Structure 1
């Protein structure tokens, strides 16, 4: 919908995409908005080219999402709720120096990965650190017996994922290389959510493959320079979402969330603690091919996504267990 707003200069609510999920229906929604003279809140969204960025010595604001995470970190320092761990298994001969060079280039390309969060006059600001060589610590577990090796690899991965970040000092991306055997490695990556998300992790993995191959061959980066950085977006967002524009969006969500219960009471076998311990657990299960096919078929018939079908099923279950029909569901 942001591309629609950028191309046509009109605001089309996101719900229109789900009410009419075809190109023809979306085109009619755009035509209706144009005929009604419904401009975007600030006209078409401008791209934020590098030339519009504040000088490096100017305080860069946080995006609203970043500020929320910064506030939560200040409220409960040392929590690891927003650590994003990722374990990559690498098969075949590995050049650790080339891998470190690839990481260095990724950090150079993506300023968010070398950003820390300072406080100036009581307000958080982004500070982009200079690019430099990337040090890739490594641990060689290949001398351990197979069972002990796997246990130690799991222990190191869990310990790395549970290690807190210092948002004011960084780095907010950590990488550790484990050598399990000749031609077998694990790469432990841990991000803080303030500089990354699930989508960004996929981008990093794809770019790492391209940059590692280039480093092995002694070639420069094959990837084009990025036209914008996350700080560009944060600066644009802060300039746009202010005054009446911010008031309108805030009023909308206050109305949508008005009366929403603060928590969902479930028939648990023990009482809820006064202070959240965050000592939760996860239950993993798999859907067989038939179930996946049925899920995707239902989503197609309803003009929605498999995620929304699963979210609806989860809410239906929570409604049955809690006896409530007004529920909230948080997702990453």
Structure 2
């Protein structure tokens, strides 16, 4: 760098006896003293999502915490697990990849930028790093399951899918090539803190349609008609989340 460029660079000397932060408290401030509650925002993610109108989806701390606590109860991550982080942070799945892993003391492996589009690279990474837990959008799962060597991903304990409808053919292929791996189908709009329903594939699955499952903890879903009334069993309706 030239002299002009260095003039704008702030240097931190870790050997200095009294660094700039030496007088700052060693603990976080009390959020209650700052007036913060679980209703304050945890993040905003830009999406066109369910309405087709671009917007920033606002999610509160209580929503993401509820989602993470439910996820741990459902899938039981522990310190021996290795989670693959490959979702760009502009998508809400990245929130559980980051925070679920850190909350439970597991290992987080960050894929190289663009790796979420390269199934061969993902197969090598999963094998090399002994990944136990990974997320796939169903269309990417199709490519992943067609990749040479996928049956050598013996460390995989959990495959989680969301973002699109999961084809039954993909479920059958996972069951055939990765029979030791749990497969879970989740559904939810960005506005509702990642996922609101979940379904775990049984060991034997011969269905033609993959369900989105049942509501997660502290969540309800309703199928309503155009007037806001519940539709009869088996009828088509609009999905409402509460």
One fold, TM greater than 0.5? no
- Structure in which a larger fraction of residues adopt helix: 1
TM-score, normalised with respect to structure 1: 0.19
Structure number with higher relative contact order (C-alpha < 8 Å, ≥ 6 residues apart): 1
Structure exhibiting the larger radius of gyration computed from Cα positions? 1
